[in-house]
Chain A
């Protein structure tokens, strides 16, 4: 049985087709990433999968339960961490947790035990009785995640869990996601942080204009665009090296300056390495480091969503 089955999901708001025949399934225990630019249909998909809104067409099942016809039974299996840290700032951390537990019908003894465990896990136990309006952004986010886990869900929806957080909160949340996965909890993760998806997800779906453009493991997706390989090079006098000059090296299709390094996009890395050496000698500089890089998940994302402002000549894949 799949944790999530989305079968030809469509959603129309007036004249706007927000989702168009979206199909995917997520296996139990899988960490599944859902990537897409703003307005692509990520939030609409989550709202349908959590039963907040109904699809215009199609079906969604959570552990075999139809989310429209068996909404309550399906929701009992899930925890939701919304994009905004939607906690009650006039209540304490403990009151927020206990309120959520009561909404999910978690018994008193169990919710108090679980509540303490979660506050401890997220480093908030010492502040449990403090009103949350004094909490930092990271603390609020950690509490939101704890509230999503209070009912010990089999499936956790995480909407942008680490967006804009401090390093400590980021690390705690990433560790927790990894541990949850180890415990067999299915995680559905939407994120703008492509590297986060690359590191955390077993598979990712890339959605654009309400349609799924690709679904596969991050590594397999990268292999589909081998043409977007690159050579990363640093010169001992990077300030003197001009991007336009590097673009003249044979086989280089584009050049991106990244800090003190340049990333040369190419289909033929060996030829570019030779070209870079010739370039360095001709310009009286030295190469400090040079590395060949395969396509990143970000490259795949850019290629599939058409958000390309870097790689010339690459077009959206329908």
Chain B
């Protein structure tokens, strides 16, 4: 019997299991066509649809492209992988293992996070190579990419808690949230130009804070204090993790 194989304790066990879940997702789902389309190609087309022809500097457009790439790529893995796992009954393996639901949620989110960080390199490199876009401060870019990617990966895991075996059901709900976020978060329309009635929604969008932080790396200015951006993204991550944990527990009953 392997009741206590490792000396690292339950926390270490949970982290190891979360990493195992993420590795499994990387092996199985990263190259699935529907994930490539919704996670990588869709944000690119969205960006081209709204950015081409607009008289904006690359230093303004590249942060926006990075932000929406992260939004779509980070939240695209779990809404596909978890319904498929429900259908194949492999999800029962995860929820019956000697780990908490927190570890399952963390592991699933981790795979979306890593996928998103990888995809975010594409607009980042494109900005440097094609437009020579200068980066004024790398720290907010790194923090912005990491926190925003983890935030939206957790949001994807939260939506995937809905007990369906069809990825389309979750993607439909998720797009109802993701698409409006692009327009209220300062990605294409500067926050100062958003009507007063929309400002309230702006503050409720995690993309606002992620985009603001990434924008700071290129423009050197932010709408909010960077510490506020970081704090708000951390709050959203905790909120989504907590809500996801509760929903998975509720829907397993």
Contacts and interface: CB of A to CB of B under 8 A. Distances in A.
A103 B19 CA distance: 9
Interface string B95-127: 111111000000000000000000000000000
B57 interface: no
Contact of A72 (B6, B10, B20, B27): B10
B44 interface: no
Given A88-B24, A105-B98, A154 B93 contact: no
Contacts of B21: 103
Contacts of A76: 2-4, 98
A316 B68 CA distance: 63
A104 interface: yes
B99 A52 contact: no
Nearest to A75: B98
A86 B90 contact: yes
Interface string A139-163: 0000000010001111000000000
A154 B28 CA distance: 31
B193 to A, nearest CB: 46
Nearest to A11: B253
Given A91-B27, A152-B2, A154-B1, A86 B98 contact: no
B92 A52 contact: yes
A52 B1 CA distance: 22
Contacts of B223: none
A50 interface: yes
Given A91-B27, A99-B24, A107 B5 contact: yes
Contact of B96 (A50, A77, A88): A50
B3 A103 contact: no
B123 to A, nearest CB: 29
A88 B97 contact: no
A102 B2 contact: no
A84 B92 CA distance: 10
B212 to A, nearest CB: 38
A82 B3 CA distance: 21
B2 A151 contact: yes
Contact of A110 (B2, B16, B19): B2
- What secondary structure prevails in chain B residues at the interface with A? helix
A241 interface: no
Interface in A37-95: 50-54, 72-73, 75-77, 80, 82, 84, 86-91, 95
B192 interface: no
Interface string A150-178: 01111000000000000000000000000
Contacts of B89: 82, 84, 86
Among the interface residues A52, A72, A106, which one has the most CB atoms of the partner chain B within 10 A?
A72
A292 interface: no
A100 interface: yes
Looking at A100, A102, A154, which has the most chain B CB atoms within 10 Å of its CB?
Answer: A102
B203 to A, nearest CB: 38
B28 A77 contact: no
Contact of B28 (A90, A100, A147, A153): A90
Nearest to A114: B2
A19 B185 CA distance: 50
Given A86-B89, A105-B13, A53 B96 contact: no
Contact of A105 (B1, B16, B27, B95): B16
B3 A52 contact: no
Contacts of A152: 1-2
A105 B28 contact: no
Contacts of A147: 93
A106 B5 contact: yes
A51 B20 contact: no
Contact of B17 (A86, A105, A107, A154): A105
Nearest to B95: A52
A51 B92 CA distance: 11
B52 interface: no
A27 B85 CA distance: 34
Nearest to A46: B96
B93 A100 contact: yes
A284 to B, nearest CB: 58
B24 to A, nearest CB: 5
A105 B24 contact: no
Interface string B1-44: 11111100010010011011101100110000000000000000
A152 B19 CA distance: 22
B24 A91 contact: yes
A104 B3 CA distance: 9
A94 to B, nearest CB: 12
Of A51, A99, A153, which is in contact with the most chain B CB atoms at under 10 Å from its CB?
Answer: A99
Contacts of B6: 105, 107
A54 B20 CA distance: 26
Interface in A119-155: 147, 151-154
A55 to B, nearest CB: 10
B2 to A, nearest CB: 5
9 contacts: A51-B96, A52-B96, A84-B89, A86-B89, A86-B93, A102-B17, A104-B2, A107-B6, A110-B5
Q: Across chains A and B, which 10 residue pairs bring their CB atoms closest together, nearest first?
A: A102-B20, A75-B98, A86-B89, A103-B97, A84-B89, A90-B28, A76-B98, A105-B13, A107-B5, A86-B90
